[in-house]
Amino acid sequence: MQANPHVRDALEYARLASKRWTYYRQHGETATSLPELHSAVQRHPRAEIAFLLIARASWQPDPRLIGLAYCRRTWCHRLVVDFVAVHPRVVGRLHARIRGIGTGLFYGLIEIADELGIGMIWGEATANSASFYEKILGAESVLDQFHIHGETMNHCRRELARIHQHQP
């Protein structure tokens, strides 16, 4: 399973996100809920605040983590995506029926940005993730970084609305 480059990336990003979370937590620069993030921005408008967006398997008796996005609200009121990791068994296709975790995390970030009045999300793409970003952003080409704003943000909002329309 670790021969799969997406699985290797997921494991590496989860470890790195954990280390970075610990660092920011020790310095009091984290938020564990959207209201807490709102409050931190209100108190310190130019603060950099880290947060984790977590996807859990709600259909499990003890909901298991199936994906995470480690992000920061920057001092100039943007969101930066540092790490996105989908559970290795999901990204490695051992749970073939579970799909769309990464897409759901990104569309969740769009909703967080809208809630906070943030107009741009950006991050770094890797050789393994560039095609994923092209797909969810409706972009022709993504190289080493992506920017979600303007029409790209609107594209993501439309896709999220389309997904919501098709859910029971």
How many domains does one find in the chain?
1
pTM of the model: 0.84
> What single letter denotes the amino acid at residue 61?
P
Q: Residue 82 belongs to what domain range?
A: 5-165
**Number of other CB atoms surrounding residue 76 within 10 Å:** 9
CA 126 vs CA 10, 45, 53, 58: distances in Å: 12, 31, 20, 30
Handedness of CA 116, 118, 123, 129 (dihedral sign): positive
* Domain harbouring 56, CATH code: 3.40.630.30
Q: Output the tens digit of pLDDT for each of the chain's 168 residues.
A: 557 777 777 778 788 888 888 999 999 999 999 999 999 999 999 999 999 998 887 777 666 888 889 999 999 999 999 988 887 777 655 555 677 888 889 999 999 999 999 999 999 998 888 988 999 998 889 999 999 999 999 999 998 888 878 776
